[in-house]
Amino acid sequence: MNKIVVFLLIVQAAIIAVNSKEFHSKKLAPEGTVRQSKVQYKKTDNLRLSLEQDGGLHEFYESEFSTRVDHFRPLNQQRVNFTYNANTHHFQNYGPIYIYLKDAYDYSTVFIEEGLMVDIAEQTGAALFTFDHRYFGRNRPRPSASLEDLEFLSMEQSLADIAVFIRAIRNEIPTALFSRVILWGSGAGGTLAAFARSRYPHLVHAAWSSSAIIESAVYSWGPYDVFAFTFDINDGGVCRNLIEEAYVEIATLVLSGRGEELSERLNLCHPVQTDNPLDVASLYEVSVRAVMAYFNVFHYQGVLDFCEDMEAIPGEPLASLARWFRYVYGDAVCFDPSYDTAIERYSNPEWDQEGTNNGRRQWYFAQCTQVGSFLVADNYTWLAGTVDIAYHLQKCEDLFGTPFPYERITNAFYTLRDEFSQRISNIVYTNGNLDPIRYLGRLYDPTYTGVVINIDFASKSADLTSISDDEPDSITDAKERIIDLITEWSLDEPPTEPPVSPTPETDTA
């Protein structure tokens, strides 16, 4: 056989061996994928009547509640119906009410069907509820998500919806008028749970805020600063060095203007515009966010699997990283982190489009107008100044067609932050020590009125699921502490009747 042919066969075999090497990581569903419900929800126009008629034969319901489009202008009395879901399987008369507040991109009902709070509800006789926040999922108060129609998207409006919902549910369930209401949520939902407990303590008895943004800022470099430490897995720094080497190689290709080569090596859909700081920043932001998202699902085991896969091609960390992206997010033909694609994807204000379906357009609006919490990379991070606040402000302008001055965002952010008390009782804050966003959360309570649990070997909201024999002891210990707190708050004696002011004594002399 010709020696050249033999050589090519050997090379081909080597390539096949590398590409077919077993993956330790698991495939991940695309962003915005809704986890399918495992139960059948019965639609009802009257939950009270359905509960009475079904007599416990049906336990999962879907209904609607009415809320105002604008809670704060008396001249605008326009109303809209929002959909909610209920699990009354374990409910007992006078039992507590648990309401799950979803994260910005979470439209599923899974956490009122299974998980730690469902396990607690079985012991406390609670009913569980959840609904999509305004402008997210099915609850759309306006015809589109245009800049003008997003006017009524704010933290205050969402909090008012929660208060309206609590009153509606207390009226729907005859014995729930004085039931203890406990909120829990993940991410943005956890933030709303804490703020609702602060603003409406007469309606919300307690709250559990999981992986929430509480101690925020207009922008923060903390998450990018600490993200590299996520890869410290007692391997002598091997994994951390590999991921840093991969990004150093990306930076080298960018600085030398080799966008086409970078595109080929990372299997990108478009060449990187190396002379465009926005395109370069988007590459870093989207790729790091993809790794973070993976760890948020698989936690410490996800870090271990990722690190194993980073060694798949010895001496080629960038090739190993590209291989990982292709496999984990492999439903697409190529990986597309380009700035222009992001603007095109999230600029469309119509409902049922990619940017509005996954909620990212709505969340960008919240960040650009009030929430802030932009992640930036300064010159001391391993991404060295590639993602700055100017990048985020330009993205706000390009997405919504109008400038968002830094001063205006700053004023709105501090107005929001100052509205809510930092001294909140009957609340537990939980954070995963693998979650880079934890530095925007409450890692300790300076007021000593709330409970803080920081969880080793966990990323975002690992505490929401039921206790498992397969999880690290640190996660189990955190869940057991949460069970104790929620149970204690649930069993607090509720008032049997509304408080009545004493009748002033009159002088009959």
- Whether residue 169 sits in one domain with residue 247: no
User: Is residue 15 in a domain?
Assistant: no
Cα 244 from Cα 241, distance rounded (Å)? 5
Distance of CA 399 to the CA centre of its chain: 21
Higher pLDDT, 159 or 326: 159
CB 404 within 8 A of CB 396: yes
Residue 291, pLDDT > 90, answer: yes
- Rounded to an integer, the average pLDDT of 136-143 is 96
User: Is residue 498 in a domain?
Assistant: no
Domain boundary among the residues 396, 413, 430 is at: 413
- Whether residue 365 sits in one domain with residue 232: yes
CB 268 within 8 A of CB 284: no
Tokens standing for 35? Answer: 């986890």
Cα 81 from Cα 97, distance rounded (Å)? 21
- Whether residue 429 sits in one domain with residue 343: no
Higher pLDDT, 272 or 502: 272
- Whether residue 303 sits in one domain with residue 269: yes
Domain boundary among the residues 391, 413, 435 is at: 413
User: Is residue 171 in a domain?
Assistant: yes
Residue 223, pLDDT > 50, answer: yes
What is the reported pLDDT for 386?
A: 85
- Rounded to an integer, the average pLDDT of 333-340 is 88
- Whether residue 183 sits in one domain with residue 151: yes
Instruction: Please tell me whether residue 158 adopts helix, strand or coil conformation.
Output: helix
- Whether residue 227 sits in one domain with residue 200: no
User: Is residue 98 in a domain?
Assistant: yes
Residue 177, pLDDT > 70, answer: yes
The model's pLDDT over 231-265, given as tens digits with 9 standing for 90+, comes to: 888 888 899 999 999 999 999 999 999 999 999 98
- Whether residue 244 sits in one domain with residue 190: no
Domain count, the chain: 2
User: Is residue 35 in a domain?
Assistant: no
Distance of CA 300 to the CA centre of its chain: 18
Average pLDDT value for the chain? 89
What is the reported pLDDT for 34?
A: 66
The model's pLDDT over 14-62, given as tens digits with 9 standing for 90+, comes to: 444 444 468 889 887 766 666 778 899 999 999 988 888 887 667 899 9
CB 445 within 8 A of CB 452: yes
The model's pLDDT over 389-438, given as tens digits with 9 standing for 90+, comes to: 999 999 999 999 999 999 999 999 999 888 887 789 999 999 999 999 99
User: Is residue 72 in a domain?
Assistant: yes
The model's pLDDT over 453-491, given as tens digits with 9 standing for 90+, comes to: 999 999 999 999 999 999 999 999 999 999 999 999 999
Q: Please state, in angstroms and as integers, the Cα–Cα distance from residue 338 to each residue in 127, 150, 281, 397, 400, following that order.
A: 45, 26, 9, 17, 18
102-111 core/surface letters (b: 16 or more CB in 10 A; e: else): bbbbbbbbbb
Cα 340 from Cα 458, distance rounded (Å)? 34
- Rounded to an integer, the average pLDDT of 429-449 is 93
What is the reported pLDDT for 32?
A: 61
- Whether residue 302 sits in one domain with residue 186: no
- Whether residue 92 sits in one domain with residue 61: yes
Nearest to 157 by CA among 70, 66, 65: 70
Q: pLDDT class for 371, splitting at 50, 70, 90?
A: very high
Q: pLDDT class for 211, splitting at 50, 70, 90?
A: very high
The model's pLDDT over 85-139, given as tens digits with 9 standing for 90+, comes to: 999 999 998 999 999 999 998 899 999 999 999 999 999 999 999 999 999 999 9
Q: Domain limits at 455?
A: 42-210+422-490
Cα 346 from Cα 361, distance rounded (Å)? 5
Q: pLDDT class for 63, splitting at 50, 70, 90?
A: very high
Q: pLDDT class for 452, splitting at 50, 70, 90?
A: very high
What is the reported pLDDT for 71?
A: 98
- Whether residue 319 sits in one domain with residue 267: yes
What is the reported pLDDT for 447?
A: 87
User: Is residue 179 in a domain?
Assistant: yes
CATH code of residue 54: 3.40.50.1820
User: Is residue 377 in a domain?
Assistant: yes
- Whether residue 319 sits in one domain with residue 373: yes
Which neighbouring-strand residues pair with 81? 66
CB 269 within 8 A of CB 336: yes
- Whether residue 253 sits in one domain with residue 128: no
What is the reported pLDDT for 30?
A: 67
Domain boundary among the residues 392, 413, 434 is at: 413
Cα 59 from Cα 69, distance rounded (Å)? 30
What is the reported pLDDT for 383?
A: 74
What is the reported pLDDT for 5?
A: 42
What is the reported pLDDT for 29?
A: 73
